Structure 1
Amino acid sequence: MGVAPPGPSGGARRHLPAGTAAHGPYSVDVGPATAGWGHAALRVLPLPPGGHHTYDTGDSEWIVLPLSGGCTVTADGRTFRLTGRPGVFHSVTDFAYVPRETRVTVASRGGGRFALAGARCERRLPARYGPADAVPVELRGTGTCSRQVNNFAAADTFDCDRLIAVEVLTPGGNWSSYPPHKHDEERPGEESLLEEIYHFEIAPHDGTPGFGYHRVSPSGHGRNTDLVAEVRDGDTVLVPDGWHGPSIAAPGHDMYYLNVMAGPGAERAWLIRDHPDHAWVRATWPGRPADPRLPRYSAPGPTPPDHRAPAP
């Protein structure tokens, strides 16, 4: 995997501006070796029309998720055709799960960009297709705290060994990942120990690039990560520990981020603890409406059988 630039103290940087985590064929290449942690990984693979890429999964499970365009994914003697989407602000997408210890080929007739979300794992689960129409679309929060969550590989929606991954869309001017929360301790039934990656896309406004802000503050556990980052399209943020949030979208610029999480716990679960100074915010949500700009989109209709089934 690629090598993240060193931070001020010589360790891995936590904010990786677009292009700074590129390596080989990947525009983003972050994993345990470069992040300095044990499990979570993210690669972003751009392919030209007619392009293809083959890689070995090694000791990790992976989900191939189209960010733009469609592709075929071949693994374990099976080929899955992913319809994909024009872009992350356009629709939910289908995806493919590929297990550890296999060779994978991603090929795209029309070209596109494809996220490879990974996690070191123990079990070898079967390669599978994830249809877009089965992705739960959740509206979370109210008012200016409203956001949309596409739970394509949440802990309770799609079976993986260690990997948890979701997409979040935040309308311009809103706050998400709020109230600030953490998952940097293993507290049975209360909190999971999970590493987390945020990968951002920011919608332009009338052709003008946008931006947002992301905060991670020390929790007293782990490395006491302390970060305030201005994030732009293609940036990546690593969260090994700490209270994280808010992620703030600038007015006029919708924000997308892909969350990739994994950890060492025996139970694959997303259990969080809200920051005690801000936990009251969540109690104001019941019975109040979400931002009327949401949902940005819903899950599509049933996936055609020739896409749902693996190709011969």
Structure 2
Amino acid sequence: MTHKTELYVPKGATATARYAVDIDPERAGWTHSSLRVVELEPGGSHTFATEDSEWIVLSLGGGCTVQVSEEPGNSDRVGITEFQILGRESVFAGVSDFVYAPRDARVQIASGAGGRFALAGAKCERRLPARYGPAPEVPVEERGSGTCARQVRNFASADAFECDKLITVEVITPGGNWSSYPPHKHDENRPGEETELEEIYYFEIDGPHGFGYQRVSPSREGGAEVLAEVRSGDAVLVPDGWHGPSIAQPGHSMYYLNVMAGPGPERKWQICFHPDHTEGYR
């Protein structure tokens, strides 16, 4: 591989004093996509500036209050909008509500009971309004069948929720099943066929000893290649290449959060399936 960073990111590899996971474009060696995971103790809070990126605050477990300041640094609090995320017990308990925070703002997350929250981000150009995404409005798709059946929660897919660049969804793969299958790619801009998108997979596995596997194979000479055993808190970076399958251990459902963004002029998820692995797929 010619990539300057390791594409398999084990739990704790990017941890800082502020984040359990902290993957930004510089760390990933690309230009747009970011992921942070913040863990709050009961009564805890976390504040960050969105800078040149848009962000979605999503519960991985627990609820919180999110304040978005439309005027960063304004000490009299003019322009602050507050949202309540009810959240969920865990990512396996169902969909969650979420909050969108625009670029050039300041965000405070506070949780009375404590919790874990994903911050999915993308460098962007337009400044859209801060908004709340209710859980009942999240489109849930049952994709595939048999041992390839999985649930896709399209809370901020390109068709479900407006962002400037960010596309982010959740997938639940039942124990023993394959998802991200057939292998597919989105590393070229080909109008009407494929959009160039960097992608982060963040994993959680149901059960203390559960694991899964993630495969990324090259679509070009010197391209991305990964075969990783993944556990809760791990991530895999996909700058290019065919990605899939994602395989869940029997008896242990696998969750992953996909965070995508790219340089193309249109926010679309257009993919190309691997021609060697589509025959007979249902």
Instruction: Compute the TM-score of the two structures, normalised by the length of structure 1.
Output: 0.85
Question: 1-side partners of 2:159 and 2:2: how far apart?
Answer: 38
Question: 1-side partners of 2:39 and 2:231: how far apart?
Answer: 18
CA contact (8 A) 1:153 1:159 kept: yes
5+ residue gaps, structure 2: 71-79
Count residues with an aligned counterpart.
272
Give 1:46 deviation, angstroms.
0.3
Question: 2-side partners of 1:24 and 1:262: how far apart?
Answer: 26
1:1-312 correspondence to structure 2 within 5 Å: 11-75=4-68, 76=70, 77-204=80-207, 208-220=208-220, 224-282=223-281, 285=282
Q: 1:45 to 1:281 in 2, by over 3 A?
A: farther
The residue identity in structure 2 corresponding to 1:253 is: H
CA contact (8 A) 2:2 2:223 kept: no
Percent of paired sites with the same residue: 64
Classify the secondary structure of the residue corresponding to 1:41.
Answer: strand
Question: 2-side partners of 1:281 and 1:18: how far apart?
Answer: 36
Deviations 1:129-148 (A, max 9, x none): 00000000000001000000
Give 1:281 deviation, angstroms.
4.3
Give 1:279 deviation, angstroms.
1.9
RMSD: 1.2
Question: 2-side partners of 1:10 and 1:162: how far apart?
Answer: 23
Question: 1-side partners of 2:21 and 2:139: how far apart?
Answer: 27
Give 1:280 deviation, angstroms.
2.2
CA contact (8 A) 2:22 2:36 kept: yes
The residue identity in structure 2 corresponding to 1:189 is: G
Give 1:260 deviation, angstroms.
0.2
Q: 1:10 to 1:195 in 2, by over 3 A?
A: closer
Give 1:24 deviation, angstroms.
2.3
Classify the secondary structure of the residue corresponding to 1:237.
Answer: strand
5+ residue gaps, structure 1: 1-7, 286-312
CA contact (8 A) 1:41 1:119 kept: yes
Classify the secondary structure of the residue corresponding to 2:45.
Answer: strand
CA contact (8 A) 2:212 2:247 kept: yes
Question: 1-side partners of 2:27 and 2:213: how far apart?
Answer: 23
Classify the secondary structure of the residue corresponding to 1:133.
Answer: helix
The residue identity in structure 1 corresponding to 2:124 is: C
The residue identity in structure 2 corresponding to 1:97 is: Y
Question: 2-side partners of 1:81 and 1:108: how far apart?
Answer: 10
Classify the secondary structure of the residue corresponding to 2:200.
Answer: strand
The residue identity in structure 2 corresponding to 1:56 is: A
The residue identity in structure 2 corresponding to 1:226 is: E
Q: 1:281 to 1:70 in 2, by over 3 A?
A: farther
Deviations 1:236-265 (A, max 9, x none): 110000000000001011000000000011
Question: 2-side partners of 1:114 and 1:10: how far apart?
Answer: 29
CA contact (8 A) 1:70 1:108 kept: yes
What's the counterpart of residue 74 of structure 2? none
